[in-house]
Amino acid sequence: MKKYLDLFFEIISFRGLTNNTLKSYTSYLKSYLKYVETVLYKLPEDVTWPEMRAYISFIQRSRGISDRTINAHVALIRFFTEYVLHKQWDSYQMPSRKFDQYLPKVPTQDEARHFIETLSNLKHKAIVSIMYSAGLRVSEVCSLKYSDISRENMSIRIARCKNRSERFAILSANALKILTQYWYEYGKPRDWLFPSTQKNGIKPIVQFTVNRIVNSHIGRLGWSQKINCHSFRHAFGTHLYENGTDLLTIQRLLGHKSLSSTTLYVHLAAYKNGTIKSPFDSSGGCP
């Protein structure tokens, strides 16, 4: 199966995907090719539509993965079929799954402030305060450099967003105070803003470490709600909307490619600000 993987890598390299996306795609493809080789005893180009569907059913049953992840597997098989095997894809034979969508759990403004204030480690406090106050993804926080912080413009340069474009985020005055204190106490880092302690400062802190910082503090606070690093990005957008910021501005600050991604915060904020009334209540209702 090595030749198929080599062809896949050759073609996919032209798309310029991020490392995380490449890792996911490679993992999905290896799983599929292993199934084809060890279960079906076939070459990939000879696999039938029923056999493809059987593979999808197998991984969902054996691994318990979500319908959203199943769609990612289907998309990968489609890419492999069209671009590596040069065979036509039939969406009627292999349709995408419908899946339930749930609103993410978002801390309130008071909860976000309390979470940051109770972090005893100054570096951890600086990381989370920047993540929340600017609405950054955890990958963007890890990739920050000293030169990305502009005190003059009170902005943060995000050099490589998820959608491959550059943007500027808000530099909060309160977050800057925490960041300045951290910078002086942690050796005035001039390259990576949050260098890894295990790599002698030559590499940035990794996402796993930041996730562990947040999860550990959630445990210390005794919070039962499902909060993670990305919850603080959602909180940024939600709290901006609650405070009266328009959606187009929030879209620009968060670096969303589509406004439909930003409308999530309308749903998250709608019942929290207490200003929406049912028309039944507005009309007086029944006595």
Is 230 one of the catalytic residues? yes
Contacts of 186 (CB under 8 A, 6+ apart): 122, 123
Is 4 one of the catalytic residues? no
* 233: helix, strand or coil: helix
The alpha carbon of 13 is separated from its chain's Cα centroid by a whole number of angstroms, namely 22
Residue 283 CB coordination number (10 Å): 9
Catalytically annotated residue among 123, 162, 252, 272: 162
Whether 45 contacts 34, CB under 8 Å: no
Is 146 one of the catalytic residues? no
d(CA 60, CA 141): 33
For residue 261, give the nearest of 234, 236, 243 by alpha carbon: 234
As a whole number of Å, the CA-based R_g of the chain is 23
Is 239 one of the catalytic residues? no
Annotate 59-124 with DSSP letters as a single string: HHHHH---HHHHHHHHHHHHHIIIIIS-----TTTSPPPP----PPP---HHHHHHHHHT--SHHH
Is 102 one of the catalytic residues? no
d(CA 103, CA 101): 7
- In a 10 Å sphere around its CB, with 0-12 CB exposed, 13-18 middle and 19+ buried, how is residue 127 labelled? buried
Whether 44 contacts 36, CB under 8 Å: yes
Catalytically annotated residue among 233, 234, 239, 241: 233
Catalytically annotated residue among 97, 145, 230, 252: 230
Is 137 one of the catalytic residues? yes
Annotate 160-180 with DSSP letters as a single string: S-TTS--EEEE--HHHHHHHH
> Per residue in 77-97, is it b (16+ CB within 10 Å) or e — as a string?
bbbbbebbbeeeeeeeeeeee
Task: Tell me the catalytic residues.
Answer: 137, 162, 230, 233, 256, 265
